[in-house]
Amino acid sequence: MEPLDDSAKVITDKFMAQWQHPIESLPASGDYSRDLLASFEKQLADVMTKAVSPATTGVSLADFKALQEQVAQLAARNIELEANTQRRV
């Protein structure tokens, strides 16, 4: 496909290095599926080595205590709501 105008030519030239010819990019060994699988495994290995491991530091004590307080408040509020609901019945 040929670009229609100068701006399209600029865009085409920008991405030209990333394109592969559909026939010339086929593996010389003739085993397309094996080469495709090898390429996928290489990409997977690259992604796995770049993956960020989760933080191992844990939660700060202040945050944990604040969460405990919130849970206690919610539990107390639930007890109140259940008591009010049972009185109505």
Q: Which pair of tokens denotes residue 73?
A: 């408040």
Dihedral over Cα of 20, 23, 27, 32: its sign: positive
Q: Which pair of tokens denotes residue 23?
A: 């026939």
pLDDT tens track for 25-83: 776 777 888 888 988 999 999 988 887 776 667 788 899 999 999 999 999 999 999 98
Q: How many CA atoms lie within 13 A of 50 on its CB side?
A: 6
Q: What is the pLDDT of residue 22?
A: 76
Distance from the first to the final alpha carbon of the chain = 76
Q: What is the pLDDT of residue 17?
A: 84
Q: Write down the pTM of the prediction.
A: 0.35
Domain borders along the chain are: 6-50
pLDDT tens track for 3-24: 788 999 999 889 888 887 777 7
